[in-house]
A and B are shown apart, each in its own frame.
Chain A
Amino acid sequence: MGTTGRNWREYPQRYRMEAAKCKKCGKINFPPRLICPECGHREFETVKLSDEGIIKTYTVIRVAPTGFEDEVPYAVGIVELKDGVSTMMQIADCEPEELKIGMPVKVEFRLVQAEGDAGILMYGYKAVPVRN
């Protein structure tokens, strides 16, 4: 659920995966925060998240929320990226049965959802399993 403005506000994170690296302790915060939860510092530099990671946990959604009904079944997981940040995203281009905890993934720019019946398309990131 969203509005055009609400989605636009998240563009730096959804389109470019921009995070805030604490200038004091080095913790990378995604999404950016105004105060570092690790050390309390308030100055950050903008960094781009790694696009490589592993699946920490996942599920396959069979009963979807509004707006995702046509996509079932689809996988959603928590991906731990190489820079240490963990965040949630769909796992695309896979069969549910092949997924495993620890599986390497690459993060790609994808369409995530469409707002309402004739609303804007909302883009973001999804993980895709890396197959050797």
Chain B
Amino acid sequence: MREVAVIGVGMNEKWGELWEKSFRDLFTEAALNAIDDAGVDKIDSMYIGCMSGGLFVGQEHIGSIMADYLGYGNIPAARVESACASGGLAFRQAFIDVASGMNDIVLAGGVEKMLDVDGGAATYALSTAADQEYECFHGITFPGLYAMIAKAHMHKYGTTREQLAHVSVKNHKNGAKNKRAQFPFETTLDGVINSVMVADPLTIMDCSPVTDGAAAVILCPLDLAKKKFKKHQIIQVIGTGQATDTIALHDRKDLTWLTAVELAGKKAFEMAGKKPTDINLCEVHDCFSIAEICVTEALGFFEPGKGGPAVESGATAIGGKIPINTSGGLKSKGHPVGATGIAQIIEITEQLRGDSGERQVKGAKVGMAQNMGGSGGSSVCHILEVK
């Protein structure tokens, strides 16, 4: 297997309600920014994470339309899907493509155009990541599924309502310093706890938003990066891991434990030859506040049940023991589901390059990104290191 580097990154200038930008333009803009950032003059193949082009904009066959509008109308291009982990999976497929020796310059991107439909249609599209016949049939929503995880976590470990709110407060504090964030403002514990209740105990400020956005990165063999693409600090992908779990939350023995995250993380750590204490910062899938707490436990940053006290203590803030979601996370930066996994890789890459400005984690050498689908039915993890 060849060693692989990330040599270019690109996003839209800002994520959010991008009425003036179409599905294809969102992606093309991010992809062109990544191509320019890398300084490449060709793309050999492309993987695009997109959860539901069909339900959000009525567009499938996404590999072809995006390759066409990017000006690479004949390259192999594939859309990959693993619900909200589609972007992370696109990055993993691109990594495998380069590592295998099949292709040299590979683009991994992600896109979701979520605001062309109304709230009901968006909720329905997102709910297709759950078990349609045995979860959604009963009137459950994604906030509802994570609310059930939160209730179970609070019952088992004594996690508090305030600890959940600390996740949103921290991520908004980080996101307020991110010019690309959809909601770049700070909030307070009261602001989170007393906002509109969506599914007890989660309020709307425990939930990531619906977002239009895209992100793209360029990968190539490490040797080629050292010879030809020296514009930026070279960042190597040293670990990748992917795992699945039951699609239905009720089929899991422990409702508070994300097995897919644990296993994807373990595979990535093993491949990288690293352990949780070696990681300088991590982007995790905080689709809901409780998700960040569960993920930081499943990845081994904290003992089971200690994720709540950890965020409350400041251990996951910038300057803490392990900064989590320096970008603002899904909560503040926005969550265009197919693009999220790629944007996580971009945050880690820019942090390792030392390009994160006010959000910079000083001396960061090793970073991790964890992307998740559904209520934990899939997860993809990557570890990157300064080379």
**What residues make up the interface of A, taking CB atoms closer than 8 Å to B?**
1-2, 6, 10, 14, 31, 56-68, 71, 74, 76-78, 86-90, 96, 101, 112-113, 122, 124
Contacts and interface: CB of A to CB of B under 8 A. Distances in A.
B287 interface: no
B248 A88 contact: yes
Given A65-B120, A65-B127, A86-B251, A59 B137 contact: no
Interface of B: 120-121, 123-124, 127, 132-141, 143-144, 147-149, 151-152, 155, 196-202, 248-251, 255
B248 A62 contact: no
A71 B151 contact: no
6 contacts: A56-B152, A61-B140, A66-B121, A66-B124, A71-B139, A90-B139
Contacts of B133: 6, 10, 31
B371 to A, nearest CB: 24
Contacts of A60: 199-200
A58 B199 CA distance: 10
Nearest to A77: B148
Contacts, number: 100
A61 B144 contact: yes
B141 A64 contact: yes
A101 B151 contact: yes
Contact of B141 (A1, A2, A63): A63
Given A60-B199, A66-B123, A78 B255 contact: yes
Contacts of B123: 65-66
Contacts of B132: 1
B5 to A, nearest CB: 39
B138 A63 contact: no
Nearest to A75: B200
A61 B140 CA distance: 7
A101 to B, nearest CB: 5
A68 B251 CA distance: 24
A124 B137 CA distance: 9
Given A66-B120, A86-B250, A88-B248, A113 B137 contact: yes
A66 B124 CA distance: 7
Contacts of A77: 148
B9 to A, nearest CB: 35
Contact of B134 (A6, A31, A122): A31
Nearest to B121: A66
Contact of B139 (A56, A74, A87, A101): A74
Given A1-B132, A65-B123, A57 B148 contact: yes
